[in-house]
Amino acid sequence: MVRKNFERIGGPEYMGLDDGKRNGFHYCRLYRQTALLGTVLPLYLTLVRNTLDEATDPWGVKVERVEVKDVRLPVQLQRAMAAEAEAAREARAKVIAAEGEKKASHALNEAANVICESPSAIQLRYLQTLNSIR
């Protein structure tokens, strides 16, 4: 008997679309699972077909259809994928924060230009600062 170790990706899950608002986490998990299957599955299908051909060719049998019910990912690979996803999220957060800082600096520069052009604006800002100190 020829046996290979195949990784596991959880089986298909079905749920009504009307539950989307109540069960958003489930749909995110299902989407992630589907995306992973779309990436990993073609590689495994080739491996499965080759393994089946090795086992059945000596008997003169040709397998025409195989259904994959489960694929399990090793824990170490799951951790690596989670770490990569976390790093990507942190990178996006840093980019968003930097863009916010950039917009804030442009707004402060514009406000400084307005205040410099008007002596009454400078006096008003001074009074606002004194009021906020109390």
Q: What is the pLDDT of residue 89?
A: 93
User: Please, where are the H alpha helices in 57-118?
Assistant: 75-117
Q: What is the pLDDT of residue 91?
A: 94
Q: What is the pLDDT of residue 109?
A: 93
Domain ranges of the chain: 1-73, 75-134
Q: What is the pLDDT of residue 95?
A: 95
User: How far, in Å, CA of 37 to CA of 39, rounded?
Assistant: 5
φ and ψ at 8, to 5 degrees?
-115, 130
User: How far, in Å, CA of 97 to CA of 105, rounded?
Assistant: 12
Q: What is the pLDDT of residue 17?
A: 47
Q: What is the pLDDT of residue 21?
A: 57
Question: Tokens 């749909």 map to which residue?
Answer: 27
User: How far, in Å, CA of 57 to CA of 117, rounded?
Assistant: 87
- Residue ranges in the chain whose pLDDT is less than 50: 1-19
Angle between the N-to-C axes of helices 75-117 and 119-133, in degrees from 0 to 180, rounded to the nearest 10: 120
Q: What is the pLDDT of residue 22?
A: 60
